[in-house]
Amino acid sequence: MDLKLAGKRALVTGGSRGLGFAVAEELCGEGVRVALLARDAAAVESAAAGLRAAGHDAIGVVADTAQDRQVESAVAAATERFGGIDILVNGAAKAAGGPATGFLALHDDDLRSEMETKVLGYLRCARAVAPQMIESGWGRIINIGGLAMRRTGSVFGSVRNVAVAAMSKNLADELGPKGVNVTVVHPWVTETEGVRDMIRDRSAAQGITEAEFAQDLAADVSVGRLIRPSEVAHVVTFLASPLSVAINGEAVATGGGLSGPIFY
């Protein structure tokens, strides 16, 4: 299937590694020119150089999405390099993880940090690119949330991802008539570098194999295993395409199916 993405221009935040880099790779494979955004200048340039070595048109831009001016500067740099931005994939956020924490043990500043980066950070990036999308009459904004929004056990994980979904729907209703679709993708535990490191460390601590620990993590996943970053990236890339016009303001779960509850 031709996704009609050749020549489009994308900004992928959190793009130097993990799911963000997988999305960038997939977009590049469809002929998209991609700007990777991350805080670590060396890491994001290394990631972009890897894409260029594979024959793709990619650059790295540096910004902390918790800072307005840094976001504006990064978007300006990507716009100058490519002549515009058609697609925004928001993925710059602190990785989920760690044991479930009772709410009495939580610290308010931790939630403020989560909201500043994952919610307001996404909003800053959308606000920076939306005017040019509106002017051109076409655009796609895909926000990476997380299936913690559908489960208890992590107050902050649930709150931040529900907020991303609510923000996405509001933006979709406002921007949809102007040709800009906004969606949110909710992964579950995905086999990123960080998750593989966690599996290695915790399996060793528990005296079990990495395969056994990974299987325990996937106990609630209906396909029977953890989903790979590239598999989430396939979905994101379709949502970034002109063919996804029928999907706007919706949440798309990409965790391999959580067993049990019915969502409708």
21 with 122, same domain?
yes
80 with 209, same domain?
no
195 with 235, same domain?
no
221 with 202, same domain?
yes
pLDDT of 99 reads: 56
In a domain, 257, yes or no: no
pLDDT of 111 reads: 87
Q: How far apart are the C-alpha atoms of 62 and 70, rounded to whole Å?
A: 8
Which residue's structure tokens are 């570098």? 193
143 with 216, same domain?
no
CATH number at residue 233: 3.40.50.720
Tens digits of residue pLDDT in 128-179 = 999 999 999 999 999 999 998 888 888 888 999 999 999 999 999 999 999 9
% of the chain exceeding 90 in pLDDT: 77
Question: 149: closest CA among 158, 141, 138?
Answer: 158
In a domain, 256, yes or no: no
CB 94 within 8 A of CB 113: yes
**Distance between first and last Cα of the chain:** 28
78 with 114, same domain?
yes
**Average pLDDT, whole number, for the chain?**
94
197 with 149, same domain?
no
Residue 96 pLDDT greater than 90, yes or no: no
Q: For residue 224, list its beta bridge partners.
A: none
CB 182 within 8 A of CB 176: yes
CB 257 within 8 A of CB 220: no
In a domain, 86, yes or no: yes
222 with 180, same domain?
no
What type of residue sits at position 154? S
In a domain, 1, yes or no: no
In a domain, 261, yes or no: no
In a domain, 35, yes or no: yes
Go through 18-48 and write b for each residue having 16 or more CB atoms within 10 A of its CB, e for each that does not. Answer: bbbbbbbbbbbebebbbbbbbbeeebbbebb
In a domain, 259, yes or no: no
**Which residues form the domain of 101?**
9-188+229-249
116 with 220, same domain?
no
Give Cα 127 distance to the centre of its chain.
17
160 with 218, same domain?
no
In a domain, 107, yes or no: yes
> How do strand 180-186 and strand 251-253 relate by DSSP bridges?
parallel
Domain count, the chain: 2
% of the chain exceeding 70 in pLDDT: 98
57 with 102, same domain?
yes
pLDDT band at residue 105 using 50, 70 and 90 as cut-offs: confident
Which residue's structure tokens are 């406002």? 174
199 with 184, same domain?
no
